[in-house]
Amino acid sequence: MASNRKDVTIDNKIDDLPKIDTESRRPIYLDYNATTPILPEIKNVMQQAVDHAWANPSSTNHILGRTSRRWLNWAREQVGACLNVSDPNTEIIFTSGGTESNNWILNYIASMKPSSSTLPHVITTAIEHPAISQPLKALSRAGLLTYTIIHPIPRVGSITAEQVADALQDNTVLVTVMAANNETGVIQPIEQIGQLVREINTARQMQADESDNPSEYVPLFYHVDAAQIIGKGVLTEPGKVDVKSWCAHYVTIVGHKFYGPKIGALYVKQGIPLAPWLHGGGQEMGKRSGTENVMDCVGLGAACQISKKNNEKNWKPFTLVTSFLRKTTHVDVQRINSSRFKTIHPKHKRKHRKIKIQQ
């Protein structure tokens, strides 16, 4: 017997939400390298995506799905433009964030076999995010790869391309370096390292061509974790955001570090291999299956557009703030958290003035 729909009451009210404290004084937020708030303009664009692009972007057999697909394509183009990629439609893959992107690259590298008797070797630094250092430890313990850690130069906070060259082995297949450190802000010489990787690949290819077995060529890939460099107003080398000048094969992008939502993307240069990470419906060019989160992808695209548009405007105020903090605190950026990296001997430490912040 059919039920009378008039007697059915749908309750869409959401109960028991976390309490919002509106009485306490609003705190001064200084943890922007961990997460930035989403800009109102980006929230607005994301809301438009919720209202107009809520359908499955893979359902292109009807108008609502095609609308979502256009919004997703727009977001991909914005991310690509921010990084100066050649073709965003084939080189930008949306991910859940930086941790996933980094794990994806390292797990793929771990599946490579430079030869039947050697494991893949990775070069990294002592200042990487745990999303790089922890997967490397796990993959090494599992007997899937080996890796070398390069320590930054004391009182400078960065590594050099020469250190990377010294760490190279015949079975080295990846160099992974963060563009800017999340705690010290020090920018690494990512362009110089990229040029070194390109030279090594040229030399390896020539050596393989001259040998009796050209298939012995072992490519060297280069991954840059760009989570902390995008949106920071860096105009000059080595921190200018440009995957081509970096000579990078893979680049990690993280939206919530520059006023976007908590979502990420991975740049994969055309012609560079990368095995699928998630299997299923074949989304993201067959590399990462799963229905795309259009709203957050659009938010990331909007953040990238704003970053690219205002990069030059941000350069001067960021530089002035950095200069002010150095003068008033007598702290070099590289000295922060020095005990962790063991770059400053205790006898060189000195007391620093405290800054009184007007509230």
Going by C-alpha positions, the residue among 163, 133, 140 that lies closest to residue 151 is: 163
Total Cβ atoms within 10 A of residue 139: 22
**How is residue 26 annotated by DSSP?**
P
Q: Does position 352 have pLDDT exceeding 50, yes or no?
A: no
Q: Rounded to an integer, what distance in angstroms lies between the CA atom of residue 264 and that of residue 256?
A: 8
Q: Is the pLDDT of residue 354 over 70?
A: no
Q: Is residue 348 scored above 70 in pLDDT?
A: no
Give the pair of three-digit tokens for residue 181: 């450190």
CA 339 to chain centre: 26
* Residues in contact with 24: Cβ distance below 8 Å, sequence separation at least 6, in sequence order: none
Confidence band of 3 (pLDDT split at 50, 70, 90): low
Provide, rounded to the nearest whole percent, the portion of the chain with pLDDT above 70.
88
245 φ/ψ sector (left φ>0, alpha ψ -120 to 50, else beta): alpha
Q: Give me the pLDDT at residue 26, please.
A: 83
pLDDT tens across 172-195, in order?
999 999 999 998 889 999 999 999
User: According to the model, what pLDDT value does residue 179 have?
Assistant: 95
124/223 Cα distance (integer angstroms)? 10
- Grouping H, G, I as helix, E, B as strand and the rest as coil, residue 131 is helix
Structure confidence at residue 99 (pLDDT): 98
DSSP string, 276-303: -SB-SS-TTTTTB-S---HHHHHHHHHH
pLDDT at 325: 76
Q: Regarding predicted confidence, which is higher, 113 or 51?
A: 51
Coil vs helix vs strand at 253: strand
Q: Where is pLDDT greater, at 240 or 15? A: 15
Pairing verdict, β 221-225 and 172-178:
parallel
237: confidence class by pLDDT, cuts 50, 70, 90 = low
Query: Which of 314, 341, 118, 294 is CA-nearest to residue 229?
Result: 314
Report the mean per-residue pLDDT for the chain: 88
Lowest mean pLDDT among 33-37, 41-45, 155-159, 239-243: 239-243
Residue 41 has a pLDDT of: 98
Q: Please say whether the beta carbons of 254 and 98 come within 8 A.
A: yes
Residue 46 has pLDDT above 60, yes or no: yes
- What is the structure's pLDDT at 245? 94
- Please confirm whether the linkage preceding 273 is cis (ω < 30° from 0): no
Say what angle helices 98-110 and 130-141 make with each other, to 10 degrees.
Answer: 30
Q: Which domains does the chain have, with CATH numbers?
A: 83-280 (3.40.640.10), 316-346 (no CATH)
pLDDT (0 to 100) of residue 331: 55
* Residue with more model confidence, 257 or 113: 257
pLDDT for res 47: 98
Residue 318 CB contacts under 8 Å (≥ 6 apart), including other chains: 232, 233
From 268-272, 293-297, 300-304, 326-330, the region with the lowest mean pLDDT: 326-330
Task: Report which of 135, 129, 187, 179 is spatially closest to residue 157, judged by C-alpha positions.
Answer: 187
pLDDT at 21: 84
Is the pTM higher than 0.85?
Answer: yes
**Angle CA(63)–CA(66)–CA(71) in degrees, nearest 5?**
130
pLDDT band for 350, please (50, 70, 90 cuts).
very low
The number of residues making up the chain comes to 359
Place 211 in a pLDDT band, splitting at 50, 70 and 90: confident
Q: What would the mean pLDDT of 325-337 be, rounded to a whole number?
A: 60
**326 pLDDT above the threshold of 80:** no
